[in-house]
Structures are given as structure tokens and as C-alpha cells.
Amino acid sequence: MAPRSTQALGKAARHAAILEALSTDPTVRISTLADQFNVSTETVRRDIEELSARGMVRRTYGGAVASHPASQPRLSEREQVMVAERARIGRAAAELVEEGAVVMLDAGSTTTQFARALAARGLRATLLTNSLDAALAAGACEALRVLVAPGELSAVERGLYGPETAAFLRRFTVDMAVIGASGLTEEGPSEAESRAAWVKRAMLERAPRRVLLVDSSKFGRPFLEQVCPPEQVTDLVTEAHPPVPLAAALGRGGLRLTVATEV
């Protein structure tokens, strides 16, 4: 662990330092970090709680450990962080939809923001989704036709998954697939849950335009299962510019980047 700082670090710097420490040490202690950062243990505890809500670490008694690639916070927890950023991403992505378009949308916190923004636009379109939240949000707009995929219900993710879901999706030809992801690296988007990755792949197969919605906290974070190589994504909508190596890897396939700025 680095020696104690003589000046208190800002929150972003503390978060980066915690993640850097966990890249070389499987566990970190709150008391040690507080001493290093020259802040209170309560401040570090809040830092760890925020990183845990974003799925970047796992809280332990008195500290934190690195997050497992096969785990992420529940949907209800993910909805509580990066709220403004996800809303901006959803609005920017909804602007990509043309009148009369047919869109597939998977389940997730950011994709639900897309469904709300699409409903707010009031244009005529068709939405196919495995997300109960997205279906209800889109259903608030009478101009939107909403088709819900069958499958096994996940109450935690408020979505439908399984072979019936994928078979249903493969019956349709659509203009656009809009998906989220647990993480995004130079190898492409990845998912903590395999069943979610399978649904995303089925959607990507059916659309010539394949739009990925991720906030910047997902950059550089690999999860259990790769969804697709980066060149299969045609559009990335996020709220901040990706780091240069990631942007270069995504750009090799001609990806179109939309950065959703504050209104």
C-alpha cells in the first residue's frame, strides 16, 4: 500500500486508487485506505458502497474485494447509480429511431431509460422486448406497438429469458437492436449472466443496426461471457468519451459514437 498522503484525495481519485489496489491485492481494508487517502473511514466506506452498487467491488466486513466476473448488482441496485447519465444515454439513443421503425430492446436499467425516452417522443414504431419495465414504459405511448417476448421470468431482473425467448426473437426482421451490457472492453461487450448474453445475441442477429448503450463506469470492465466482437456493434451511445485504446478498438469496425451531453 502506498504511503499516507499529506492531502486528501477527491472522490474520483479515491475510486481509481481503490480499484488499482484491488488489481494487485485481492482485498483492501477501510482503515488502511482512510489512512492512505487522509480521509475518514466513513468517507472510504461510502466510496466502497458506491463502487459496490456499480458492480466494481464487493463489500466485506471492514473492507472490499474485487468483483467476480460472473456477478453484478441486482437491477434495483443498478437503477440507483448513474441515474442522470443513463437517462441522457436513453434520450440520445431514442433520437436514433426513425418513424415506423421496428426495434428490439433487451432488459436492463439503461435500456429501460431508452424505452421511456422513446415513449416520450411519441413517434409511431414497433418495440419487441424481453423487459417488463421497458414494455410498460413504452406502452404509455399509444403510437408504440409493444410485443413482449415469452420465456422464464426473472423477478430480480424483471425480464424474460430462455430458449422460448430466443426462438421468438428470431421470428422477426427488425431495423435496430438496442442492448446494454455489464462491461465493455477492447474485446467487445460482455455480460455477467449467460442467459442475458444469449438474448442479446439473438437480437443482434436480426438487426442491421446494432446499438450498444453503456455508461462510462462499464469501460474496461470484462465480465463472464463475451456477447459479440466489437465489430458487430454499429453504434455506441454513452455519456463520456471512451479511453483511447478502447475507442481505437471500437473504431476499427467503423462504429458510430454518440456521446450524450447534459441538456
Averaged pLDDT for residues 34-53: 89
Averaged pLDDT for residues 28-35: 90
Q: In what order do the strands lie in the sheet with 57-60?
A: 27-29, 63-66, 57-60
Long-range contacts of 138-141 (CB under 8 A, 24+ apart): none
- Entry pTM: 0.77
Predicted pLDDT of residue 11:
86
Q: What is the DSSP string of 93-114?
A: HHTTPPTT-EEEE--SHHHHHH
Give domain limits for the chain: 11-66, 77-259
The CATH class that applies to domain 77-259 reads alpha beta
List pLDDT tens digits, range 74-109.
Answer: 676 666 667 889 999 999 999 999 999 999 999 999
pLDDT band at 2 (very low <50, low <70, confident <90, very high): very low
Which CATH number describes the domain made up of 11-66? Answer: 1.10.10.10
DSSP category for residue 218: G
Averaged pLDDT for residues 104-122: 97
